[in-house]
Structure 1
């Protein structure tokens, strides 16, 4: 009997040494001044956390010195928005009597509430936890009761290998070859004042900014060479801050072998000028016009008259003056063989 007890004790000790050590995980309502193993803490001041309403940053002192972001007046616009990549999320906040209203958290369109109310002030408390999310990107909106006079965020915990995403990053950039060059389109970013169009001749860059778009979410790059592959990314500007780059899109323009273009230019005097040109020549003209319209480029542009030349001349060119042009029309056709 004693031998059996001894053997059982030895077996238990060996089994305990072989099993991985697992500390008890924190639970909602518990103070959590630092992240636990398997989690990564992100401070409330991270630039990828967007605050709407009457928020201000505040530096604390005491046993748990840190910063918090809070509002002190009721507003229907008091909300927090961020995106992250991972499978789990924790919200770290204060608990106190001045937080009586429930807070709504919406993850990928699904909403629930959590409480930050307590009879005494406790800082850096785990107030909300969500596990088992699908591996990938998740959109999170924290909405405070419109009558609440105080609301706060201290930190966010996500997967140890997760990341907070740039919410102002443009998405779904596409590039398509068109007769005028390469047409780019992307999704709109809320509150963006402008977008930078960046181009490279190798995947991954380095990229050069070729245009700033202040209206719309599209751009046509006409300054291209047939047979060359161009790679593009887009960044947005929100409140003067430039976002991270969008997905990369690319296209390779190919000039049709036989297609020609009739370029009809109407001058402010009412006179019309018509030219039978190649697509490359028309693209060069459009590129000059757009550059001049944006404040750069030369005042005039020379158009080769080709077969319209009269007399024993080597060449004849019409020089178009930018501020004399009222409209122009581009008509592409395939010559009859």
Structure 2
């Protein structure tokens, strides 16, 4: 408990007008002891670090004074400097002009002239936002095979990837010196006409280049 009056700022008031009391303390717990009477204020506010609560030293059944009554208690505050403000919301109307009588300010810690520290915002370097990735397009497992002949004629086929891979396997095998001289590509529904089936036979030594465009 401490009674360092120099560290408490008080602004008195006339009868019917509010007064206020301001102080800071460094610690974790605070208690206020007052007297209680029927003539005192019905509503007194207390703010700790901006958080406002209320208490009342008024009791209509008490004609005499009850002294050193624990009227307010706040525990388990974060260890540090706390700013406390007390003021009357509803001033007393008694002729003595007392809203209440504060007998003791008890703290676990000490009254201080220090001011609460203001937490500084973080100084972490801003991180680059992740660039959105292009959504992967679903594959139809098909491709357009374009074969360019030595005559500069282009032949285009819409095939499954399995058929394209079979064509590439034939081409690489023949290029290595073995395999058939030609490869039959099924035209499927393309340019089928009145026939049940149409195939285009590609001669190896007539191929200039080929291109595969998967979709």
TM-score tier by shorter-chain length is 0.3 to 0.5
Q: TM-score, normalised by structure 1?
A: 0.30
> Over alpha carbons, which structure has the higher Rg?
2
Q: Which has the higher contact order (CA 8 A, sep 6+)?
A: 2
